[in-house]
Amino acid sequence: MLDDLDRRLLDILSLNARISLKELAQEAGLSSPSTADRLRRLEDRGVITGFTISINPVALGYALQAIVRVRPMPGMLHIVEKMIQETPEFVECDKVTGDDCFIAKLLVRDMEQLDTILDRIAERSQTNTSIVKSSPVKRRLPPLGVGK
């Protein structure tokens, strides 16, 4: 389980994964060695699996985000999964229960690129696509409370 200091460290890191160890220790009210030890234990336990950056897709020319629900045709599940994995514009994909097998996030420069990618996938599956207008909740940590 996480204690209050672990939760504090995770909260700070979720806002800025590039913070220096010294600054992280100061903000958490710990020494640098104690902070480093806690981080190492959180990594060893699999709580922290990596440190990353956040980018603005629009600044890189990706004007459109789409959520694509994918239902492979019979016998095409693994082929469609591989196609999604090998298409770099699919930046996230979850295998789900229900009517669809995959729900994926796609970043594209324009509608033409979206059509090209979906046409390839649609040869082996049915797709349902929604264009993202905004993201009122950005990716965030789940509640870190005890027993919650």
Q: What is the pTM of this model?
A: 0.83
Distance, in Å, from the CA atom of 100 to the CA atom of 73, rounded to the nearest integer, reads: 11
Higher-confidence residue: 144 or 88?
A: 88
**Residue 15 in tokens:** 């806002």
Q: What is residue 52's predicted lDDT score, i.e. its pLDDT?
A: 85
Beta-sheet strands, E only, within the chain: 64-72, 90-95, 102-108, 125-131
Residue 140: what pLDDT? Answer: 84
Residues of the chain with CATH 3.30.70.920: 57-131
> If pLDDT is split at 50, 70 and 90, which confidence band does 146 have?
low
Looking at domain 57-131, does it have CATH number 2.60.120.560? no
Beta-carbon contacts of 39 under 8 Å, excluding residues fewer than 6 positions away, are: 9, 48
Q: Where in the chain is the domain with CATH 1.10.10.10?
A: 4-44
Q: What class, spelled out in words, does domain 4-44 have in CATH?
A: mainly alpha
Predicted local confidence at residue 148, as pLDDT: 46
Q: Decide if 128 contacts 100 (C-beta within 8 A).
A: yes
What rounded mean pLDDT belongs to the chain? 94
**Residue 33 DSSP label:** H
Lowest average pLDDT, out of 14-18, 28-32, 111-115, 119-123, goes to 14-18
Q: What is the pLDDT of residues 62-118, one digit of tens each?
A: 999 999 999 999 999 999 999 999 999 999 999 999 999 999 999 999 999 999 999
Q: Are 83 and 89 in contact (CB under 8 A)?
A: no
**pLDDT over 80 at 144, yes or no:** yes
Q: pLDDT band for 147, please (50, 70, 90 cuts).
A: low
CA distance 99 to 113: 26
pLDDT on residue 1: 82
Task: Please state, as a whole number, how many other Cβ atoms lie within 10 Å of the Cβ of residue 48.
Answer: 18
Residue 141 pLDDT level (bands cut at 50, 70, 90): confident
